[in-house]
Structure formats: structure tokens, C-alpha cells
Structure 1
Amino acid sequence: MRVTFHGAAGEVTGSLHEVEVAGQRLLFDCGMIQGSPEAEARNADPFPFEPSALDALILSHAHIDHIGRVPLLVQRGFRGPIYAQAATADLMPVMLLDAAGIAESEAMRANRDRRHGQPMAVPLYTKDDVREAMRQVRPLPYDVRTELSPGVEMCFRDAGHILGSCSVELWGDGRKVVFSGDLGPKGTPILRDPAEIADADLVLMESTYGDRLHRDRAETIHELEEILDDAWRSGGVVLIPAFAVGRTQELLYWFAKHWDDWKMSRWQIFLDSPMASKVVDVYDRHHDLFDDDAKRVWRNHPSPFRLPNLHITESVDESMAINRMERGIIVIAGSGMANAGRILHHFKHRLHRKQTHVVFVGYQAEGTTGRRIVDGAKWVRIHGHDVRVNAQRHTVGGLSAHTDQRGLMDWYAGFRDRPPLALVHGEDKAREALAGEIGEAYGISATLARPGLVLEV
């Protein structure tokens, strides 16, 4: 068995790992690179392998940095099956059609503004490419060992990151490799805790927050309550950049659970996303994947997805109308890193106001507008305009969909005999810190994956 690292090897996004086993060439994930314009331009580069030579694609979950180049892979010749957990398979067309729509809109805008002699902009892929790719998707349940081909088997295990997120067990050639996917913290609302896995000959583990510990969740929820209360007293508006899957549902969960004590009925809540209602429908179809606490909240409180003051705004006109409201509103909009999507329009209209509260609830990659704001930028450029940042900024790290250093170490500790470990999906600062802690605790030297690195198992 041979593993070759191509993406998310020294950075968080762009998941892309190749496995050669029993005469088969498989791929773990095919994610989009996110961050600066220079980083995102790499998405159009040729793949470091021939797509038509791949036998199968295995997806860990539906976030764009793990599935965002799947239509491009198919467009360039991949014809094999795409294996995904059933909820992931349901989320994929929602996420990918949205990404294609953004790419098409950005190409249209670039062509409208292009100067004489400049080449026409072309979207990375289109909605038709997404529909074509979805024909190859094969949904699978959790915890069922499945034969992919003679001598090759796999199993999806719950990773507790978003609905349908998986760690992947892969067997072949008498060896076993485990890919963590993105691991969620224990006790995350709605989701079950990450499954423990006992054995492997090689572990590929994410390391997004390998250099830090998250704040206690109870303290984080209290902080969120204080932010909302302060924003209400100041007559302001709360803007929350959040991906359509994951943190958005958790935020609505907390709003429902604390409906009375947070006085949530006084707010108007806008889930400003053209795909939000479709994501909600997927969650409603997969209650069997919820944890016990979430099932109780659904029974005993207003449904988080059916709050009486929740407005799901799908059209552009509905989104624009939000900016005519002066106070008492909470806007949750994508993208989660504020590098695209409707949140930028709200930033453009409201960042200059001191009464605006911007709440970051997830990871902000280098080069994104979100990261610049978190790092204290006084000005940001949005749609070609410089916007003054006078808004109050809040980073609520305890709501991250990724587990922290302690959670990563605990998950690895579940393996017997301390198998070899390769760290992926992390910036070097985070990976080096995690490797040091694991080396001290367990006496192993973790490999920091780099593009092109090959490990024999």
C-alpha cells in the first residue's frame, strides 16, 4: 500500500490524498483550495495525476475544501464511483451547485469588467458539471465494511464534524490505513462524538487546531449570550459568517435551546443563503444521525430550523432588503471565511458602523477577508472598494467544528500500538506543535505531510 499526499499537506484546505492498493488507485477527497486569490487560482492547475487512471474517490464529508474539485475531476476524465456517507451524498449537490453558481457569477463579473485584449474568464466548473459528477456518487451508511474491489475494503466511521462526516478505514494488501477526515469536538450539539478506531498501519490525521485548546463550550455559549445582549443594548446588528453546513445549524440549535433566557424572540434572525432551505431539508431527513440531546431539543423547544422569527432568504432581492433594516437583526451568511458569498455584501454595508458586531465562529484561513478582520485590519477591500472596519469583532473559538489539540491527541490515543502518523490539514505552526506534543506523550515521530511525499505502508 502506498500513500501520496497532494493537497492539504502544509495547509488546511484542498484535501487530496492518493492511495495505491491491490492494483487500485483511490483518492481520499478532492477539495477546493481556499484563501488568498493566489491560493485559489491553484484550483485550476492540472491534477498531479491522471484523473482517468483513478479507480474510485472516497469522500470524508461535504465541506467545499474536501469536495470542491470533484466536478473538475470528472470534467477532466475521472469515471469511477464516488463513495460518500448517505447524508454527505445528500449535501453534495447543494454545496457544489452553490460553488458552481459563485464561479459562474465571478466569471461573468470579470468578463464584464475585463479590459480590451484580456482573455475571457472561465468558471472552474458549471452547474452542468456538478450534475454530471453526481451520477457517479454511491451513498453508503456508517459502520458497514464494504468491498470496493477484490482485496480492497472500506468503512465509514462517524467523525462528529458535520452531518455525514466520516473517518475512513481502508484495508488492502494485508494493511490498513485510516484517514481521520475532519474531527469534531466531543459534546458538539446535534452530532454524535467521533468514533474511536483501535488499529491501523498508518493514520492520516487532520491538525487544523493542533496548536491550541478551545475554550470550554459552556463558557463559549455564555460569551455568545453576552455578545447578543450587548448588541441589543447598543441598538446594533450581529453579522455571523458561517458555512451553510455545520456552525449554522449549531447556532440555530443554541438559539432554540435558549429561546426564553436569551430573549431570542426580540430578534429577527436571517439565514441569508440561497441553499439554506435545502440544507435544512437534508438535516430534517437525517434525524437518525443526531445525538440524544439534539433529539430532546427538537421535542421540547421550538424547532431550531423552524423558529418563528427565522427568515430564510434565498433571493438576491430578499438579501438586499436586510441592509435596509437598522437594528435588532442577526444575519448568518456564507461564506464562513468571508472570502465570497453574501456575507461580503453585509460587510460592505455595515462594517463601518460601530454598532455592528461581527462574530467569527470558525477557522479563518490565511489570505481571507475574515482572517484580516480577525487580525485587526482597519480596512478591507470588498468588491473593489476599501471598507473601513469600525465594527466590534468577536472570535468565539469554542464553537469550532474541529476538535482542538487535546481532542486530536485523545483520538490518536484510541489506537493500539501507536501506529505511524502523518499530519495533514494544518498550517505548519499547528502541525509542529501537535507533533511535538504527540512525540512527548507517546514516543513517536509524526510525519508532516508535504505535496509529493510518498509513504509506503
Structure 2
Amino acid sequence: MEIIHHGAVNGVTGSCHQLIIDRQNSLLVDCGLFQGAETSGRDENELLSIEFDISTVKALLVTHCHIDHVGRIPYILAAGFDGPIIATEATAALLPMVIEDALKVGVTRNRSIIEACLKRLNHQLVAVPYKQWRNVSLSGNTKTKVKFQPAGHILGSAYIEVDVQLESQPSKRIVFSGDLGATYSPLLAAPKSPYKADVVVLESTYGDKNHQSRRDRVKSLERVLTKAVSDNGVVIIPAFSIGRTQELLYELEHIVSYSANEKLNEIEVIVDSPMAAKFTAYYQQFQSLWDAEAKRRIKQGRHPLNFDSLYTVDSHQEHLQTIDYLAKRDKPAIVIAASGMCSGGRVVNYLKRFLDKPSSDVLFVGYQAQGTLGRDIQKYGSRGGYVFIEGEKHYVKAGVHTISGYSAHADQNNLVNFVKRIRHQPQKVVLVHGDDEAKTILKEKIEAVGITATIGV
């Protein structure tokens, strides 16, 4: 057996890992888009096309439905893949929406093409519950089963255990982490380590950093909001529609409801993303997956994802009207808009209008990949510099803040503990999905607890 990485090996996007079981059989884990600097200097066809042999791929296993993990699914379908696409029940519910949006934004608005792709997807999509083994049909006498375990990253996210029984050989257990959630994140429970593994393919996004504690990050969030209400500014929070937006709403409900600052109690929270609104509805539908704290809030009669001062912007016309409305009035507001790395979407229009206003604030709550507008604002905003948005120079006069604790990714301690707490420890950990420095530092930390680690190539 061997593992070939078709993405997320020299960076954090384009996740796609192929487990070669034997000459006749392989499994694919995720099939995501490349983003940011990882697209630089590369032809679009090269980034999107499926250039590896899929003739032996018996199933595509999906860890979760962020676009950097699923965005190339239409292309593998076009390349002729007709096997099962296996995902958790919540991911299977969300995935068609994500793929439809990706097709509209990056490929075509031709409805017949979109419908044809979604029809294929739904035909091949297999929804499975957490924590149950499922056999995967292979050629020959080799046997393989897979199990999806809660990863705590976003709704439906999973790490995947793959158990391979080669003929007349002991079985091997390979674990693909996908993206692991951070400990003490709101809404979803943190992942628990598997009982055993021979090999772990582990993400390393924050392999070189540890997040703030949840208490500290709530205080940081409240400080930014207090500054905003003091000068009636607009707080722009770029956030992915799935995961980060819902976690923020959960925390904001508590702040606006219970803060001692009366102006914070009145602040409007605007979610300018139809996708985010749809995903929030699914979060409410799948409340059985929430953690104990979130379930307690529901029992108390609170509505952490649908509170009184929350407004949702739907149409593009409403979006433009909201920007004009915020620019003309003298009241503070919080705007959550996609995309999370400012690489497109409605947040770009907010940045164009408010980035040069000292009363405004831009709050980053997630990882900003190299080559994205978000990373540029983080880097140059702190120096009073400027960034280019759609070819135009914009000076960064707004306050720029980063609260790492709201990342949906596990930090260094979480990642090391995930491996360390595997009862029957792996022979090897393969590090993927991280910048070079993050992988190098995490490798040292894992080896310091006596486990061999390598960097995926």
C-alpha cells in the first residue's frame, strides 16, 4: 500500500489523497479546489482537471464540505468516476448546495449543466452515520471497510478510519484526519482520538501555533465590538458560510444579550450571505450533533443562531442597499460575509467601501492563506499600508484584528494530543495540509513524544 497526495501537500488547499491498496483498488479521500498562492503560475486547466489515474478508485470518501476539500468533485465526475461518494449524513445534506454554488461562481450559470452535475452527484452520494463500519466493494479478495468519526470542524465533518485486509496478511488501519476541530469550539464537540492506527495522515494548518483560550477570544471579540460601538463603526468579519459563521453567531448571541455595555445590546448583526443562511438552517436541523453546552442553551429557551438583532441579507440588490445604508448612517453594526479569505464573494464590496475608514474594523477569525486578499490585509494593514482589490489600490485605515481562537482548525496542542492519545499508536504520521513551517514544527513536536512523523510529498 501507498498514499499519493494530489493536493494539500505544499500548502493548505486542494485536499486530495489517494490510498493505493493494490494494483486493482484504491480509495480517494477528498477532492478539493486549490486557492490563493497555490494557484499562482499554474494554468486553470491544470488546477481543475483530474490528471491522475482514477481507473482503480472504488470510492470517494468526503471528510467535510469546505470547497478546498470538495471543489473538484464535478471534475472527477466529468472524468468518468462513477463509484460511491461516501459522506456523513450532515455532509451529504450540505454537499449539493456547496457544489451548486461552486459551479455557479467558478464554472457556469447554465442551469442544464448544473442540474446534470447535481443529478450525477445525488445518484452517487451515499450518506452514512457516524461511528459505524461500512464495507467498500473492491476487486479481488482484498477487503476494506471505513468508519466516519466526528471531527468537530464544521457540521458533518469527520476523520475517516480505513481498515484494509489484504489476502493472508494482518489488517492495516489508516486514519485520514481531514480537518480537525479545535478544543472548546462552540456548537460542536471536539474530536476524540481513534482507538488504534498504523498510519495517520494528519492536517497541520496550525502546526506551529496555539490558539487563545475560549475565554480570551470572547474577551477579544467583545473588545473589538466595544471599540466599534464607541465610534459607530462597521465591523467586517470575513467568514466561511459553513462553520465559522455559525460559531460567531453563537458567541455574538451571548455578547449582545448579556453584555454590560448597553450599546452592544442594541448592535445589529448582519449576515450577508444566502449560503450562510441556508447552512445555519441545517445547523439547526442537526441539533443532535451539537455539544452539551449548546443543547443546554436551547433548553433554556435561547436561540443562539436566530436572535432578535440578527438580520439576513438575501438578494444582490439587498446587498448593495445594505452597504449604502451602513455608509450613510451613524450607528455601529457587525457584518459577517463570505468569503473567509476575502478571495471573492460579497465581503469584497464591504472592504472596498469601508477599508479606508478609521472608524471601521476588519476582524479575521480564521486562517488566511498566502496569496489571498485576507493575508494581504493582515500583513499590510498593521503597517498602515495598502492592498489591491480588483486592480484598485485601497489604503487600510480600518482597524485590523485577528482572533485565532475562532479558527475551526485544531491548534498545535490539539494535533499533538490527537496522535498521542491513540491507544495503539501509529507507526507513522504523515503531515499534509499546512505551510512548510507549520509542518516542520509539528513534525518535531510529534517526534518529541516518540512517534515517527514525515512530511507528505
Q: TM-score, normalised by structure 2?
A: 0.90
* CA distance in 2: counterparts of 1:85 and 1:43, whole angstroms: 30
Aligned-residue offset at 1:157: 0.5
Identify the residue that residue 29 of structure 1 maps to in structure 2: 30
More divergent stretch after superposition (351-360 vs 70-79): 70-79
Aligned-residue offset at 1:253: 0.4
Whether 2:136 is the aligned partner of 1:148: answer yes
Identify the residue that residue 58 of structure 1 maps to in structure 2: 61
Greater relative contact order (Cα < 8 A, sep 6+): 1
Whether 2:152 is the aligned partner of 1:160: answer yes
Q: What are the Cα deviations for residues 270-298 of structure 1, in whole angstroms up to 9, with x where unaligned?
A: 11112122212211221111111011122
Identify the residue that residue 350 of structure 1 maps to in structure 2: 354
Aligned-residue offset at 1:385: 2.0
Whether 2:95 is the aligned partner of 1:92: answer yes
Q: What are the Cα deviations for residues 81-139 of structure 1, in whole angstroms up to 9, with x where unaligned?
A: 100001011111222222222114xx79xxxxxxxxxxxxx9xx856434432321100
More divergent stretch after superposition (44-53 vs 291-300): 44-53
Instruction: Report the AA paired with residue 102 of structure 1.
Output: V
Aligned-residue offset at 1:42: 6.4
Aligned-residue offset at 1:213: 1.0
Identify the residue that residue 396 of structure 2 maps to in structure 1: 389
Identify the residue that residue 279 of structure 1 maps to in structure 2: 279
Give structure 1 stretches of 5+ with no counterpart.
Answer: 109-121, 451-457
Aligned-residue offset at 1:43: 5.9
Aligned-residue offset at 1:314: 1.5
**Partner SS state of residue 7, structure 1:** coil
Aligned-residue offset at 1:441: 2.3
**Is the contact between residue 269 and residue 311 of structure 1 (CA under 8 Å) also seen in structure 2?**
yes
Q: 402, 412, 437: which is aligned to 1:429?
A: 437
**Is the contact between residue 206 and residue 424 of structure 1 (CA under 8 Å) also seen in structure 2?**
yes
Whether 2:298 is the aligned partner of 1:306: answer no
Q: 26, 38, 41: which is aligned to 2:40?
A: 38
Alignment of 1:393-408 (within 5 A): 393-408=400-415
Aligned-residue offset at 1:156: 0.2
* CA distance in 1: counterparts of 2:116 and 2:225, whole angstroms: 42
Aligned-residue offset at 1:38: 2.0
Aligned-residue offset at 1:52: 4.8
* CA distance in 2: counterparts of 1:72 and 1:372, whole angstroms: 30
Alignment of 1:2-13 (within 5 A): 2-13=2-13
Q: What are the Cα deviations for residues 290-320 of structure 1, in whole angstroms up to 9, with x where unaligned?
A: 1110111223254122211211112001111
Q: What are the Cα deviations for residues 208-240 of structure 1, in whole angstroms up to 9, with x where unaligned?
A: 000011111101100101110111001100000
Whether 2:454 is the aligned partner of 1:447: answer yes
**Is the contact between residue 33 and residue 48 of structure 2 (CA under 8 Å) also seen in structure 1?**
no
* CA distance in 1: counterparts of 2:368 and 2:46, whole angstroms: 19
Instruction: Report the AA paired with residue 272 of structure 2.
Output: D
**Is the contact between residue 147 and residue 160 of structure 2 (CA under 8 Å) also seen in structure 1?**
yes
Alignment of 1:308-327 (within 5 A): 308-324=308-324, 325=326, 326=329, 327=331
* CA distance in 2: counterparts of 1:38 and 1:134, whole angstroms: 33
Identify the residue that residue 219 of structure 1 maps to in structure 2: 216
**Partner SS state of residue 4, structure 1:** strand
* CA distance in 1: counterparts of 2:84 and 2:98, whole angstroms: 19
Instruction: Report the AA paired with residue 98 of structure 1.
Output: D
Aligned-residue offset at 1:354: 0.7
* CA distance in 2: counterparts of 1:201 and 1:312, whole angstroms: 47
* Structure 2 CA distance for partners of 1:39 and 1:163, relative to 1, 3 Å: farther
* Structure 2 CA distance for partners of 1:195 and 1:417, relative to 1, 3 Å: closer
* CA distance in 1: counterparts of 2:375 and 2:317, whole angstroms: 28
Identify the residue that residue 363 of structure 1 maps to in structure 2: 367
Aligned-residue offset at 1:267: 1.3
Identify the residue that residue 196 of structure 2 maps to in structure 1: 199
* CA distance in 2: counterparts of 1:268 and 1:228, whole angstroms: 11
* CA distance in 2: counterparts of 1:251 and 1:53, whole angstroms: 42
Instruction: Report the AA paired with residue 91 of structure 1.
Output: L
* CA distance in 1: counterparts of 2:302 and 2:294, whole angstroms: 12
Aligned-residue offset at 1:45: 4.6
Give structure 2 stretches of 5+ with no counterpart.
Answer: none
Identity of matched residues, %: 37
Instruction: Report the AA paired with residue 40 of structure 2.
Output: E
* CA distance in 2: counterparts of 1:339 and 1:370, whole angstroms: 7
Instruction: Report the AA paired with residue 319 of structure 1.
Output: H
Q: What are the Cα deviations for residues 154-197 of structure 1, in whole angstroms up to 9, with x where unaligned?
A: 00001111111101000112211110111111211110110221
Which runs of at least 4 in structure 1 moved beyond 3 Å after TM superposition? 39-46, 125-128
* CA distance in 2: counterparts of 1:176 and 1:417, whole angstroms: 11
Whether 2:187 is the aligned partner of 1:190: answer yes
Identify the residue that residue 340 of structure 1 maps to in structure 2: 344
Q: TM-score, normalised by structure 1?
A: 0.90
Aligned-residue offset at 1:46: 3.2
Backbone CA RMSD of aligned residues: 2.0
Aligned length, in residue pairs:
433
Identify the residue that residue 207 of structure 2 maps to in structure 1: 210
**Partner SS state of residue 51, structure 1:** coil
* Structure 2 CA distance for partners of 1:74 and 1:363, relative to 1, 3 Å: same
